[in-house]
C-alpha cells in the first residue's frame, strides 16, 4: 500500500467500524440469549472423589435407566434429529414429527429454538441459502411443537411463510438453542439417585426415520451413579431409543448451558444438562 492510499484505507476502516456499532447484532448477553451459568463450587469440591471413582470400572445389565445427559449428548441427538423438523422430511414421510404440529411432545419446561441471530455463536447466519433473512424461530415451545423448518418452496406447498431455513437441498436448522431450566446441575446429580451420567456421544445412527429410532455410543466419560454419587465408570454401552420417547420423558433441565460444536455435530447449538427417565441402554460390543 502506498502513502497516498493509507488515509483512504483508514477512512474505510473507520466507516466499517461505525457501521457495525450502529447495526449491532444480538449477542448471548441480550435478553433473548441469557448468559451461560457455570456449575457451582459444591460440584468442584466433589471432583477429586469423582476422579477416584472413575478409575473403578463397573458393569450394568441392559435395560432402562434414568440418565443425566450432558449438553454434548443433547447437542448430538438434537442436531442429528433436526432434519426431521424440515418440512421436506415431513411431506416425504421421513419424519417422526409428522402430524405433531401443535401437539405436546415434551415437558412444559422444554423450549427449543433455532437461533441464527445469536452472533456470538459459530452457527450464526444473516440469511438462508435463498437469501431470506434469518430470525429466531420457536420450534418447540413449552413442550409443544410450534413450527417446522421451511424454505419458500416448502412454505408454498404447506400454505404458510418461509422461516428463513432454506438449505441447498432442503430446509435445515442453523443454530439450535434449548432454553435453560430451573435446576442446578449439582442438584440434578442428587436427584438422579441411581442412574447414569453420560458426558458425550458419537456414531449416532437412525434405524427408522419415521419413528425416530436411533442408537448412539457414549464416550468421554460414562458414569454409574448411586445415591447421587459417582460409583464407577462404564464402557461398552449404547443408547438405543427414539427421539420422541426421549423428549416425552424429560424430567429436568439445568440452569447451566454450554455451547456445543465439534466435528461429530451437524450444527452448532447451546444446550443444558437434561434428565431423562427410562432411556434404553444396550451393549455396544
Percent of the chain with pLDDT over 70: 81
Please report the pLDDT score of residue 41 as a whole number: 54
CA distance 156 to 169: 16
pTM equals 0.82
- pLDDT of the residue at 263: 77
Got the DSSP string for 129-150? TTSPBP--EEEEETTEE---B-
* pLDDT computed for residue 1 by the predictor: 47
pLDDT for 58 equals 83
Q: For residues 13 and 104, which has the higher predicted lDDT (pLDDT)?
A: 104
Per-residue pLDDT band for 203 (boundaries 50, 70, 90) equals very high
Q: pLDDT tens digits for 87-96?
A: 999 999 999 9
Helix (H, G, I), strand (E, B) or coil at 62: coil
Average pLDDT of the chain, as a whole number: 86
Q: What is the pLDDT of residue 11?
A: 38
Give the separation between CA 272 and CA 118, rounded to whole angstroms. Answer: 16
Q: Provide the CB-side half-sphere exposure for 285 (13 A, CA).
A: 5
Amino acid at each position: 500500500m502506498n502513502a497516498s492510499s493509507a488515509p483512504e484505507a483508514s477512512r474505510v476502516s473507520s466507516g466499517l467500524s461505525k457501521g457495525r456499532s450502529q447495526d449491532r447484532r444480538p449477542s448471548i448477553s441480550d435478553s433473548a440469549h441469557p448468559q451461560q451459568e457455570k456449575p457451582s463450587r459444591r460440584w468442584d469440591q466433589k471432583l477429586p472423589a469423582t476422579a477416584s471413582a472413575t478409575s473403578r470400572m463397573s458393569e450394568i445389565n441392559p435395560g432402562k435407566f434414568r440418565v443425566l445427559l450432558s449438553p454434548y449428548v443433547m447437542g448430538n441427538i438434537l442436531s442429528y434429529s433436526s432434519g426431521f423438523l424440515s418440512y421436506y422430511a415431513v411431506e416425504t414421510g421421513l419424519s417422526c414429527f409428522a402430524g405433531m404440529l401443535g401437539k405436546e411432545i415434551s415437558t412444559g419446561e422444554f423450549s427449543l429454538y433455532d437461533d441464527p441471530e445469536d452472533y456470538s455463536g459459530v452457527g450464526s447466519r444473516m440469511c438462508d441459502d435463498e437469501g431470506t433473512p434469518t430470525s429466531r424461530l420457536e420450534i418447540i415451545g413449552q413442550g409443544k411443537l410450534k413450527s417446522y423448518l421451511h424454505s419458500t418452496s416448502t412454505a408454498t406447498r404447506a400454505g404458510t411463510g418461509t422461516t428463513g431455513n432454506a438449505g441447498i437441498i432442503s430446509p435445515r436448522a442453523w443454530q439450535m438453542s434449548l432454553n435453560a431450566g430451573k435446576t442446578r446441575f449439582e442438584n440434578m446429580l442428587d436427584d438422579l439417585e441411581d442412574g447414569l451420567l453420560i458426558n458425550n456421544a458419537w456414531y449416532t445412527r437412525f434405524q427408522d426415520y419415521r419413528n425416530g429410532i436411533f442408537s448412539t455410543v457414549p464416550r468421554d466419560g460414562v458414569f454409574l451413579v448411586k445415591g447421587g454419587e459417582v460409583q464407577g465408570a462404564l464402557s461398552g454401552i449404547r443408547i438405543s431409543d427414539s427421539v420422541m420417547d426421549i423428549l416425552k420423558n424429560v424430567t429436568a433441565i439445568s440452569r447451566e448451558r454450554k455451547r456445543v460444536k465439534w466435528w461429530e455435530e451437524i450444527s452448532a447449538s447451546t444446550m443444558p444438562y437434561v434428565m431423562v427417565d427410562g432411556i434404553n441402554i444396550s451393549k455396544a460390543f
